[in-house]
Structure 1
Amino acid sequence: MANTPSRTPLAGGFLLAISLVAGSVIGAIAGQPSVGFVGGLGVGLALTIGVWLIDRARR
């Protein structure tokens, strides 16, 4: 029986969640948790969109 490639989509939500938490922690250390949260959101969205584009190209 031939192995067929998995058609399961990749998930980037984990990267978004970790970026938000890391940004908030780094921002809190720097005294600016809101700025850290927004920065983490930007990085997380960029990573999530990257995962989505890679997954879309795989199909």
Structure 2
Amino acid sequence: MTDSSPPSAAGGVLVALGSILGAAVGFSIGEATAGFLIGLGLGAVGALLIWWRDRR
């Protein structure tokens, strides 16, 4: 039996890109750890929003 539901979206790429870009921006202003953590947090929020939308 086949499942006709649409494929789920992957939000993990947002976590990875947020971490990398946040660290790069933070490094450019001298705060690499803070930039990494902010990017990680924003990426995680984005991934959670995609997951939440996909569950509906």
Residue correspondences, number? 53
Specify the code of the residue in structure 1 equivalent to 2:26: G
Percent of pairs identical after alignment? 32
Once residues 23 and 48 of structure 1 are traced to their aligned partners in structure 2, the CA distance between those partners, rounded to angstroms, is 16
Specify the code of the residue in structure 2 equivalent to 1:10: A
- CA shift at 1:5, angstroms? 5.0
Q: What TM-score, normalized to structure 2?
A: 0.87
**Bigger Cα Rg:** 1
Q: 2:41 maps to what in 1?
A: 42
Q: 2:32 maps to what in 1?
A: 33
- CA shift at 1:28, angstroms? 0.1
Q: What TM-score, normalized to structure 1?
A: 0.83
